[in-house]
Amino acid sequence: MDVFKRIFMSPKNQDLVAEIFLHYVLPSFNAFLITGITLTTAKLRLGQGLHPGWCYFFPMQIVLNWVQFIRNRSIVPTSPESFPGITSKLTFNDQISLNINNQEVRYKACHPCGMYVPIRSHHCPYCRKCIYVLDHHCFFLGYCVGRQNMKYFVMFCVYAALGTGYGVYHIMDVMTYYRDVSGTESIYFFFPFILVMYIMERAAGFEVYYVFLIDFGLGAIIISTFLASMGTFSVLNGSTPYEDKRNIKVEEKDGMVGNFLRVFGRHGLLHLVFPVLPFPEARVDKGYTINYQYNQARQGYYTNQDC
């Protein structure tokens, strides 16, 4: 038991287990489900003499949007310059306003990152980074959804819902040859049941596989439709769930078109079909390193601005 504790409960290993689970296990399950549905649907369509084109179009969109999602993680970069303008009396939780080129820019201190970060960024405890305009941490894709990868996230969800729906429809079509979905056999479409039936040798292996794809596919359709709607709402509304929940006023809010263009870029509509485009990504504002100093009089560490 002690050995077990030493190996699995040490903070370093706990971090590692959390890291693996958060960033790899769920995303791998996703990838497996997408691949399974794609290849099975393509095989079924080819078997029926039909063109499998859409079977590859959807996964291509899903994979490319996923890659783009991870490539543009919207982590607030650290500026090599020092914080512009010294301000006095900045305590740990204060916000700070600066006038840069006649524009008011607001910052706040993030102590885990040791940075002054743009006001709309938030620290993600799973990624351990400050993310610019953090929408939420997405467990299914493994990383945070922020300003830059928001559009890829929304398109991923849209195509995941469409592609999975397309696949589940075809697999269901074949599965209903073997089991009557409207009668008493409908319970065979419930994954744990068919798994037990398979172990008892009353169902075939391929049925277990098909029902796995159908059940988890249906779940994926519901989740991705929900997430796509939430994401679209965030984009058009111009604020994040974090800000909505706390009634934080967002200054860069425009009309729906303006909000859409800010996230998707000027050629935004092209992103609906092309995940990879040669246009620059949305801007991610920089953060500035906090220089901590020990303040003898107050017996504690304060930022350089505070001393």
**From the CB of 125, what's the least distance to Zn ion, in Å?**
8
Strands 292-295 and 287-289: unpaired
Position 137 contacts Zn ion (CB under 5 A): yes
C-beta of 85: minimal distance to Zn ion in Å? 21
Tokens of 274: 């092309």
Window of 128-136, 183-191, 206-214, 297-305 that interacts with Zn ion by CB under 5 A: 128-136
The yes or no reply on residue 158 touching Zn ion (CB under 5 A) is no
Size of the site for Zn ion (CB under 5 A): 10
Residue with tokens 């970060």: 117
Among 127, 133, 158, 203, contact with Zn ion (rule: CB under 5 A) = 127
Nearest approach, Cβ of 290 to Zn ion (angstroms)? Answer: 11
**CB of 148 closer than 8 Å to CB of 131:** no
Which contiguous run of DSSP H or E holds residue 228? Answer: helix 205-237
Spatial CB neighbours of 94, under 8 Å, sequence gap ≥ 6: 108, 109
Distance in Å, CB of 130 to Zn ion, minimum:
3
Place of tokens 């490319």: 64
141 lies in the site for Zn ion, by CB under 5 A: no
Q: Is 123 in the site for Zn ion (CB under 5 A)?
A: yes
Rounded Cα distance between 120 and 131, Å, is 9
123 within 8 A of 130, measured Cβ to Cβ:
yes
Centroid of chain to Cα 155: 11
Task: Please identify which residue in 34, 42, 44, 144 interacts with Zn ion, judged by CB under 5 A.
Answer: 144
Using CB under 5 A as the binding rule, whether residue 290 contacts Zn ion is answered as no
* From 130, 154, 211, 213, residue interacting with Zn ion (rule: CB under 5 A): 130
Smallest separation (angstroms) from Zn ion to the CB of 73: 9
Backbone angles phi, psi at 21, to 5 degrees: -65, -50
Verify binding: residue 56, Zn ion, rule CB under 5 A: no
One character per residue 168-207, x = contact with Zn ion (rule: CB under 5 A): ----------------------------------------
DSSP 249-290: PPTT---HHHHHHHHH-TTGGGGGT-S--SSPPPP---EEE-
- Chain positions contacting Zn ion, by CB under 5 A: 110, 112-113, 123-124, 126-127, 130, 137, 144
